[in-house]
Amino acid sequence: MKRLGQLIIVAALAISPPIARSQEKAFDVVSIKRNRTAAEASDTNTTPGRLSLVNVTPLSLIRRAFGVQDAQIIDAPGWLSSERYDVVAVTGNAATLSDKERQPFLQDLLADRWQFRFHREMREIRVYSLVRLQNGPTPTSHTGPGEYSMRIEPTADGRLALRSIRGNMMRFAEILTRQIGDLVVDGTGLSGEYDFNLQWEPDQNAGATGPSLFAALQEQLGLKLESAKRSVPAIVIDHIERPTEN
């Protein structure tokens, strides 16, 4: 009986309960509206006490809330990546929150407005680890004021450019994941905010003369993508609903 009781306890711990609501980690005011512009680009603006997400997918909210990438989100219905929303949320104070500090607020938002329920598992998948080269350039640390921005835009000569202002490596790994199609995890050890302009030649460009994304990372930022298989924590979705707009 003692052994059976231990097994029951272990099994119970493997399944996360519904996210506990906490007034200290909940947004004071939230506005959610469906974005039907058919635009593909999204935008994020953060100021002390306020978060504005324009044209974002619910899948991207889960990524932000748990610090994971798409490959770590299991059993996601198709509409999580096809539908887009505008979300404005206010914390009720003027504190400046980091991406990590903002996660419990987003988790509460998902639980409250999307009725989000989940459990955690470990899954083995192919990943790329973003690491630093021993002898190479280093991303420039951000100093002074400036609003956060990390976005990809086409250049006049047909290349792609990722321009970062106050960008962080966790968000950078998320952007790289979407570009190469495999999970990228941050192994740089760089925890600050950085300004840089990364330019590369898209794979589909015929007769490309510029660097590939892999080469550009090494030449311009002193970073490298190393391929490996790894067991990573995954968020398995048990239940989620479309939010009520307001």
Per-residue pLDDT of 145-157, as tens digits, reads 888 999 999 999 8
Mean pLDDT of 172-180: 90
**CA-wise closest residue to 86 among 44, 116, 50:** 44
The DSSP annotation for 219-246 comes to: IIISEEEEEEEEEEEEEEEEE--PPPP-
pLDDT score at 230: 85
Q: Which residue has the tokens 């630093």?
A: 132
Say what the pLDDT of residue 213 is: 95
Instruction: Name the least confident of 120-124, 143-147, 201-205.
Output: 201-205
Residue whose entry in the numeric block shows the structure tokens 């976005």: 151
Query: Smallest Cα–Cα separation from 233: which of 58, 69, 57?
Result: 69
Residue 15: predicted pLDDT: 41
| Residue with more model confidence, 39 or 175 | 175
Which stretch of 181-185, 195-199, 242-246 has the lowest confidence by average pLDDT?
181-185
* All structural domains of the chain with their residue ranges: 15-122+233-239, 123-230
Name the CA dihedral angle for 195, 200, 204, 205, rounded to a multiple of 10 degrees: 130
Ranges of H-type helices in the chain: 2-14, 58-66, 79-82, 99-113, 169-180, 213-216
Q: Where are the alpha helices (DSSP H) in 83-219?
A: 99-113, 169-180, 213-216
- Give residue-wise pLDDT tens across range 52-107: 999 999 999 999 999 888 889 999 999 999 999 999 999 888 788 888 899 999 99
Q: What is the pTM of this model?
A: 0.64
